[in-house]
Amino acid sequence: MKKATNGIKGRAIWVFLVIMIIFFSVTNKNFLTVKNLLNVAKQVSIFGIASVGMTYVILLGGIDLATGSIISFVNIVAAFFMVNMGLNPILAVILSLAASTVIGFLNGIIIAEIKMPALIVTFASQTIFGGLAYIICNGVPISRFPDAFLKLGQGYVGPIPIPVIVMAIIFAIGAFILNKTYFGRYFYALGGNEEAAELSGIRVKRVKCLVYSLSGLFAGVAGLVMLARANTGQPNAGVGYEFDVITCVVLGGVSVNGGSGKMSNVIAGVLIIGVLSNGMVLMNISSYLQMVIKGIILLLAVGSDCIQQSNLLKAKAVD
Amino acid sequence: MGLDDNILELKHITKLYPGVVALNDVSLNIRRGEVHALVGENGAGKSTLIKTCSGAIAPTKGEIVINGNSFSNMTPQTSVKNGIGVIYQEFNLVGDLSVAENIFLGRAIRKGMLVDLKAMEREAKKVLDSLHIDISSKTLVKTLSVGYQQMVEIAKAVSQNARLLIMDEPSAPLTNAEVESMFAIVDHLKENGVTIIYISHRLDEIFRLSDRVTVLRDGQYVTTLNTSETNKDELVKYMVGRQLTEVYPERKKSCIRDEVIFEADNVSGNGDHDISLKMHKGEVLGLGGLVGAGRTEFAELIFGMHPKKAGKFIFKGQEFSPKDPREAIDVGIGLVPEDRKKEGALLGMSIRSNINMPIYNRISKGTVVNAKKEQEIAEKYRGEISIKTPTLDQLVKNLSGGNQQKVILAKWLAANSDLLIFDEPTRGIDVGAKQEIYTLINTLVEQGKTVLMISSEMEELMGMSDRIIILAEGRMAGELKKAEFDQERIMQLASMERKD
């Protein structure tokens, strides 16, 4: 019985996605075309990529508000490396990803060692690296990149845009880490009960550092794809992205209390946001109203999670 | 005021929890103006009893009579209104507010819509002066020592016109000097006609303060004595005087080897001082003592949860100072903690993950878990210690207490631990599962493993241990060999007065 309801709950998000697709297909004949659907995938690729790291963070019961700023920061440093310093694109990519990983690591080490709330640490780091992005480029966008690099954001393999392929690869890596390596087991353990996890031999601080580092790394990848797509490095490129990313992850059923969630459902969460945005644009819904609707959906997603949690607690109390 | 002038009468109080009788038909009268001590072992029902008086919990059956008025269902509000005040071990104070604000917490003196701080400080000063407590009512509570914080609690109760003050282990957190000041306040309250129920496991205090003393045992009323007409030995006899009924599974006699596997040499830290002990291979060493004696704290030192300040541990012939549980696990130590749900099991994860959690690094290629091995290991221990479950995918939160405990144990067997620390191994577990846990402990030592068992259940401690070391106030109070096991002796050692 319990298993059955879990199964339905696990798939509910996909059912919701299908219903949405049917709804938009019926209301707009331009929606259900291969071209448009690939377009949707392309549009969500950037927060899709970043959502993998955010999934780990939220699984741990934490939050990473620095994601958007890391995207902006990587935008600028990668552009600076390639255009201002004339570095080889591959080297520039490696250095930028290293930088974004270090930012994540710093967040993690402060959260783990000083035990500051993740909300504050990553908020501070959002402000710091957002500001540094402006300082590096003096507030002026940087453009004119090597063609090879632009392929990352604008190229196609057959009909499929490269950003979508990058997203698919990152999701595959993300799911592999979560389901096949012992780090994945550690993430669930730590998010479920930090004390018991530590007493089972998990080095809690190291795992926290790892998770925030990964969140930084994946945000970095997202930043690079965005840079290649836009063809200009902008210091405000990623502003506010963390909220879209958090929305995707939470919509994908990862509990904000930590300890439970699945990567496959996060993919559904990402697609829902993509379909919703695209469908609403096709229906000529104003971008202001779109914001309202997204906010309401976030509230509903977290609300249903919280209601389930409190029902669980009640059930326990009755036991 | 005759002898029968009772401020409080408890009549046939019974409190049932699922599977446990916390209080069984307890009747007790408290005379107006007396200091009435309440004693008993861990789990005797003292705390439950006072919680029924304060309205914190509702008794399943029974009647509470205060000043002749009967209540079958006490609430915290009616309790306070009828002049009952309770000083719990945990204070209900707000550190960032002043003494005066704390004393009047929730019933601030007002001037119109505003709080009249001046008036509160003035009133608080009156209460403090009346109790001869020498602190300013403007001081922030968080800057006060524990002793003074307790006095603020007492002043708060007095300012609410408490005529019956219940004090639950008031001396436990205090230093010796602070205890003396607290005694002075108790004496003073008594002179002013306040009745006091005083709970303590320190028998010296009982004789210093109380007029009468009531003994509880296993949730039952045993007797009430005039303190002047009894002595420590008699009290201890009443506290522990139960029939040993539980049967403990037989163990092969030859388990204990000469080899010393673990040694603590003058270890201090985490509240413990100068603990020295040896454990032999194949031995069950019992660690006895009252709640707060420092037993769990000692286990935490061994398991690397807190650093020791002095002394050394020697494990398998090598000195070791674990910095975290991982290091302790890697040398071969496992801990089955007291609070199973909070510290032991990962409730939201599968049985399989729980059992393999400490050894994922050992059963992985690089970081990739060998799923086949993972399944085999979990399967092996499910069979070996008979964890009852249809599938290893089952989440641990859906298991019974006994099976959860087995999963935690399986994890340490999988990790190949040589020293297993059990902290209250059978707390909250039903009788049948208890026997299984005992049998498992026997199997472990028969295999040459060593068990350190912390237990507050006297029967269990005596039934399972080869040797018992008793701690009191964070220090060694004594050591008893199997032939010397005796309830009274253990209780006497455990309630030894402090020497600091």
Cβ <8 Å between A201 and B353: no
Question: What pTM was estimated for this model as a whole?
Answer: 0.83
ipTM above 0.85, yes or no: yes
pLDDT higher than threshold 80 for residue B4: no
Distance CA A111, CA A125 (A): 12
Choose the closest CB to B369 out of A182, A202, A259.
Answer: A182
For tokens 């935490």, the residue is B300
Instruction: Look up residue B231 and give its DSSP letter.
Output: -
Q: From chain A, pick out residues whose CB is under 8 angstroms from the CB of B344.
A: 196, 199
Q: Which of B305, B358, B367 sits opposite A183 (nearest CB)?
A: B367
Ramachandran region, residue A207 (left: φ > 0; alpha: ψ -120 to 50; beta: rest)? alpha
| Cβ pair B364:A195 closer than 8 A | no
Burial of A136 (0-12, 13-18, 19+ CB in 10 A): middle
Are A201 and B325 an interchain contact pair (Cβ–Cβ within 8 Å)? yes
- B391 interfacial to chain A (CB closer than 8 Å): no
Mean pLDDT of chain B: 90
Q: A247 or A312, which is more confident?
A: A247
CB atoms within 10 A of CB B400: 13
Q: In this complex, is the C-beta atom of B271 within 8 Å of any C-beta atom belonging to chain A?
A: no
Q: What is the mean pLDDT of residues B180-207?
A: 91
pLDDT above 80 (res B428) = no
pLDDT at B484: 92
DSSP 8-state assignment for residue A81: I
CA A146 to CA B179: how far, in whole Å? 79
Phi then psi for residue B370, to 5 deg, are -80, 100
- Where exactly does CATH 3.40.50.300 map onto chain B? 6-240, 253-494
Residue B24, H or E segment: strand B20-31
Residues of B in contact with A180 (CB under 8 A): 368-369, 371
Closest CA of chain A from B494, distance in Å: 29
Mean pLDDT, to the nearest integer, of B414-431? 89
From the list A182, A185, A198, which residue is nearest B325 (CB)?
A: A198
Report helix angle A147-154 to A204-230, nearest 10.
100
Alpha carbon distance B471, B273 (integer Å): 10
Task: Give me the residue from B330, B348, B353 closest to A185, CB to CB.
Answer: B353
Residue B213 bridge partners (DSSP): B37, B225
For the domain made up of B253-494, the CATH class stated in words is alpha beta
CA of A316 vs chain B CAs: smallest distance (Å): 10
Confidence of residue A3 (pLDDT cuts 50, 70, 90): very low
- Residue pairs between chains A and B whose CB atoms are closer than 8 Å: 75
Averaged over B438-464, what is the pLDDT?
Answer: 92
Please compute the mean of the pLDDT values over residues B87-113 and round it to a whole number: 89
What is the pLDDT averaged over residues B41-49? 84
Cα(B455)–Cα(B269) distance, rounded to whole angstroms?
21
Q: Which residue has the tokens 């409080």?
A: B8
What's the confidence (pLDDT) of residue A117?
A: 96
Residue A2, pLDDT above cutoff 60: no
Residue B349: closest C-alpha in chain A: A189
Which of B467, B70, B148, B489 is closest to B285 using CA atoms?
B467
CB pair distance less than 8 Å for B361 and A183:
no
Q: What is the pLDDT of residues B149-175, one digit of tens each?
A: 999 999 999 999 899 999 998 988 888
- Of residues A12 and B311, more confidently modeled: B311
Nearest-CB residue to A193 (from B347, B361, B368): B347
Strand arrangement, sheet containing B260-269:
B272-280, B260-269, B310-315, B318-320
Cβ-based contacts of B356 with chain A (< 8 Å): 185
- Rounded to whole angstroms, the Cα distance separating A47 from A68 reads 10
Q: How many CB atoms lie within 10 A of CB B288?
A: 27
Say what the pLDDT of residue A316 is: 54
Task: Residue B369: list chain A partners with CB under 8 A.
Answer: 180-182, 185
Residue in chain B nearest A199 by alpha carbon: B325
Q: In the prediction, which pLDDT does A43 show? A: 92
Q: What mean pLDDT do residues A196-203 have? A: 96
- Compute the C-alpha angle B231/B22/B160, nearest 5°: 75
CA distance B102 to B100: 5
Cα–Cα nearest to A282, from A290, A292, A294: A290
Residues of A in contact with B367 (CB under 8 A): 181-183
- CATH 1.10.3470 matches A44-304: yes
The H-or-E segment that residue A83 falls in is none
C-alpha–C-alpha distance, residues B145 and B141, integer Å: 9
- Measure CA B29 to chain center: 26
What is the Cα–Cα distance from B80 to B59, expressed in whole angstroms? 17
Spatial distance between the Cα atoms of B460 and B438, rounded to a whole number of angstroms: 9
DSSP label at A217? Answer: H
CB–CB of B120/B101 below 8 Å? yes
Local structure of B320: helix, strand or coil: strand
User: Which band of pLDDT confidence, cut at 50, 70 and 90, is reported for residue B244?
Assistant: low
Three-state secondary structure call for residue B398: helix
For the segment A135-172, what is each residue's pLDDT rounded down to a tens digit? 999 999 999 999 999 999 999 999 999 999 999 999 99
pLDDT tens digits for A81-136?
999 999 999 999 999 999 999 999 999 999 999 999 999 999 999 999 999 999 99
B-chain residues within 8 Å CB-CB of A175?
Answer: none
Domain B6-240 is of which CATH architecture?
A: 3-Layer(aba) Sandwich (3.40)
Q: Which SS3 state, helix, strand or coil, does residue A281 take?
A: helix
pLDDT at residue A318 tops 50: no
Whether residue B358 and residue A200 make contact (CB cut-off 8 A), yes or no, is yes
Question: Does an H or E element contain B420, and which?
Answer: strand B419-423
Chain centroid to Cα B454, Å, comes to 12
Distance to chain B for A26, nearest Cα, Å: 41
Contacts of A197 in chain B (CB under 8 A): 346, 357
Q: Which among B326, B337, B368 is the nearest to A181, CB-wise?
A: B368
* Rounded CA separation B303/B328 (Å): 5
Q: Which residue has the higher pLDDT, B496 or B313?
A: B313
